[in-house]
Amino acid sequence: MIYLDHAATAFPKAPGVVEAVARFLDNEAGNPGRGGHRLTVAASRAIEAARTEVAGLLGGDPERTLLGPGATHWLNAVLAGRLRPGDRVVTSALEHNSLMRPLRRLELERGLEIVVVAGSDPDGVPDAEAFRAAVAAAPTSLVAVNHASNVTGAVLPVAEIAAAVAPTPVLVDGAQTAGSLPLDIDRLGVAAFVCSGHKGLLGPPGVGVLLLAEGFHLEPLVLGGTGSRSESEEMPEHLPDRLEAGTPNGPGIAGLGAACRWLADRDVSAVAAHERRLIGRLADGLAGIAGVSLHGWRDGASRVGVLSFTVAGSDLGELAARLDRGHGICLRAGLHCAPAAHRRIGTFPGGTLRAGVGPFNTEADIDALFAAVRRIVDER
C-alpha cells in the first residue's frame, strides 16, 4: 500500500507512539489530578511530560499549551469563548469547515459580521495588505485564518498578517502545518494557534492542541471537573485547568508526546524539505500527463506537502477507487471539507483528487502515483 492521504491523517504514526499508548494503558492509566495514589501520579506525570514535548516542538509555553479532543474542538473553543454579539471577524476564502461552520453559527446566534478576504493568485492566498485593509475598514475583534490550505497546500503569510493587523488578535488553524513546518508561536506573533495531533504531528487521533499567547484570554467552552479547586463550583482561573474540563485522553496525549519527541529528534525542517521535494516531484510528473490539471499550484510559492488535481472526463471518486483497488494507492477525492477553498480555485462542486505526503513517503511512491494516473488516462 502507498498511503498519500496525510492531509486527512498521518499513517503510519511516528515510531514510539504505539508503545507510549500501550504503556499508558498498562502502567499509567489513573485519572490525572484526581487523588494521590500511584496511578494518578503516573498519569499526571505522563500527561505533563507530553505537554512539555508538544510545547517545545511548537514554541509554546507549557502552561499555555492546552490539550483536548482535537483541532475542531479548540477552534470552537476560541471562537465561542472570545467573540461577543456584534463582533467583526476577518477570515480568508481558503478556510476549512472546522472554522467556517462555527463562524456561521455564531453569525446567526450572535450577529457576527464575517468578512472574507480572497487572494488574486492561482492558489487563492491573500497577502498581508489585504488583511490590513479589511481590518482597517471597521473595528475588528479577531482575524481567523488557516496556516496552510488543506486543498492546495498553499501557506498563508501568518506572521506578516499578524504584524499588519496588530493589535487585532489572530487565530491560526495550523492543522496542515504543525509537524510539517518549523513553528514558534512567539515569532508568528499570533494570539492563538490550533492544530491536530493526528496529522503532521504523527500522533493518535482524538487529540488536539491550543497554544495561547500571554494576555489572550478565553471563556471556557466546556465546564466540569478538573481535579483542582474541587471546593468551588466555578471553573479555576489558572491554565490549563480553566480550559481542560473532564478526564483527558491520557493514552492519546502520551502518544502525541512520543510523536513530538520523534519529530524533535528528526528535525521538522528536514521533514518540511523532504515533503516539499516530494510534492514538487509529483507536480512535475502530473503536469506532463494530457488531461491532468493542477489546482492552486504556483511555482515557487510557500507550501506544505499537499497537491490537488483533476483528470478531464474522469469521475474523481471512481478514479480514487481505481487507484486504491488497482494500484494500492490511497488518495482522497471530493471537497475535503473546504467548499470555500474550492469555490476560490474553481473546482466547486466537483472537488479534486488530493495527494498529501508525509515523512515516510519516498520518491518511488510519487513515481508510482503519476505512473498509475498515466496508465489510467491511456486506457480510457
CATH assignment at residue 359: 3.90.1150.10
316 and 289 in one domain?
A: yes
299 and 249 in one domain?
A: no
Domain boundary among 266, 286, 312: 266
Query: Between β-strands 65-68 and 208-212, what pairing exists: parallel, antiparallel or unpaired?
Result: antiparallel
pLDDT in tens, 191-200: 999 999 999 9
When the pLDDT of each residue in the chain is averaged and rounded to a whole number, the result is 95
155 and 301 in one domain?
A: no
233 and 288 in one domain?
A: no
Domain count along the chain: 2
CATH of the domain at 225: 3.40.640.10
177 and 317 in one domain?
A: no
Find out whether 211 and 34 touch, Cβ atoms under 8 Å. Answer: no
Domain boundary among 266, 300, 322: 266
50 and 101 in one domain?
A: yes
124 and 6 in one domain?
A: no
C-alpha span between 176 and 189 (Å, rounded): 18
Residues 6+ apart with CB under 8 A from 352: 151, 295, 308, 309, 310, 316, 333, 334, 336, 342
Specify the amino acid at residue 207. Answer: V
138 and 36 in one domain?
A: yes
- Own/partner long-range contacts of 286-291 (Cβ < 8 Å, ≥24 apart): 286/370, 286/373, 288/370, 289/370, 289/373, 289/374, 289/377, 290/377, 291/377
On the question of pLDDT at 225 being above 90, the answer is no
Look at residue 34 in the predicted model and tell me its pLDDT: 86
C-alpha span between 126 and 111 (Å, rounded): 25
Look at residue 375 in the predicted model and tell me its pLDDT: 93
pTM (2 d.p.): 0.96
Residue range(s) defining the domain that contains residue 23: 17-266
pLDDT in tens, 10-33: 999 999 999 999 999 999 988 998
pLDDT over 70 for what percent of the chain? 100
pLDDT in tens, 40-56: 999 999 999 999 999 99
Domain boundary among 245, 266, 287: 266
On the question of pLDDT at 229 being above 90, the answer is no
pLDDT in tens, 299-344: 888 999 999 999 999 999 999 999 999 999 999 999 999 999 999 9
